[in-house]
Amino acid sequence: MATLAELEVEAKACTRCPLASGRTKVVFGVGDPHADLMLVGEGPGRDEDLAGEPFVGRSGKLLDRLVGEEMGLRRSELYIANVVKCRPPGNRDPRPEEIAACRPYLESQVDLISPRVIVTLGKFASQVLLDTTDGITRLRGRTYPYRGGTLVPTFHPAAALRGGDEVVAKMRADLVRAKRALNAPRPASPAPPTVPAPTLFPGVPA
Ligand code: URA
């Protein structure tokens, strides 16, 4: 498998979907490549497209504040990425074919970073990683085992900016849930199948 740095080089030259033609910068992801916590958003907005970094606009500022206050973590101590790495024009929703084209980058990021906890921000990231069409209101409020770690869905910070105190309070509760999962032992991976010991002499116990 490629390293995270090699994957980033590949993504920065990517033309797998039409979003490539409208981007200023590919927003691959930032943070600690060995982080225990990974945050996954939807896709870059205008500020992120210009900066080449996820969540640098207004919703990013709220996200940084809530993660700091509820989890005691700074941006440099986690890893942040998006489902799609290039900005959809006019901030429209990413299309299924764009999500499908970009999905291998996100899945490789998750495998390479191997975080203990992933917090998915909003409907798109939660649906893509949990492979479901359920909405965020239904998905959030609990944790899910995910690739040897724990996935915690929550609202997108832009929804918290729009929705006010009630949504912010639920997001805070989800981040507390994520903090608890960070401090808990990793969920046990399924036990390997037991293979019977070979018998040299059939009928005679080894
Ligand atoms: N919204 C997202 O989902 N991701 C970003 O990087 C910025 C805004």
pLDDT tens for residues 58-108? 999 999 999 999 999 999 999 999 999 999 999 999 999 999 999 999 999
In a domain, 69, yes or no: yes
Mean pLDDT score, 16-21? 98
Residue 76 lies inside a defined structural domain of this protein: yes
CATH number of the domain bearing residue 93: 3.40.470.10
Residue 64: per-residue pLDDT: 98
123 C-alpha to center of ligand 1: Å? Answer: 12
Of the two residues 67 and 200, the one the predictor is more confident about is 67
**Ligand 1 centroid distance, CA of 43 (Å):** 5
Q: Check if 54 has its Cβ closer than 6 Å to any atom of ligand 1.
A: yes
Q: Is the pLDDT of residue 41 over 60?
A: yes
User: What is the distance in A from the centroid of ligand 1 to the CA of 204?
Assistant: 65
Per-residue confidence (pLDDT) for residue 1, from 0 to 100: 73
Residue 44: CA atoms inside 13 Å, Cβ hemisphere, count?
A: 26
**Is position 77 within any domain?**
yes
Please tell me the distance between residue 82's alpha carbon and the centre of ligand 1 in angstroms.
Answer: 7
**What are the helix (H) ranges across 13-84?**
46-51, 58-71
Report the nearest atom of ligand 1 relative to the CA of 53. Answer: 6
Q: Is 53 in the pocket of ligand 1 (CB under 6 A)?
A: no
Alpha helix (H) residue ranges in 41-164: 46-51, 58-71, 96-113, 123-130, 136-139, 157-163
73 located within any domain: yes
Binding site membership of 82 for ligand 1 (Cβ less than 6 Å): yes
The verdict on residue 140 lying in a domain is: yes
Give the whole-number percent of the chain exceeding pLDDT 90.
88
Residue 154's domain comprises 17-183
pLDDT band at 198 (very low <50, low <70, confident <90, very high): low
* pLDDT value at residue 188: 67
Number of structural domains found in the chain: 1
Q: Does 205 fall in a domain?
A: no
Is 90 exceeded by the pLDDT of residue 116? yes
Please check whether residue 83 lies inside any domain of the structure: yes
pTM: 0.90
- Whether 12 maps to a domain, the answer reads no
- Ligand 1 close to Cβ of residue 153 (< 6 A): no
| The predicted structure's pLDDT at residue 185 | 79
Ligand 1 center from residue 168 Cα (angstroms): 17
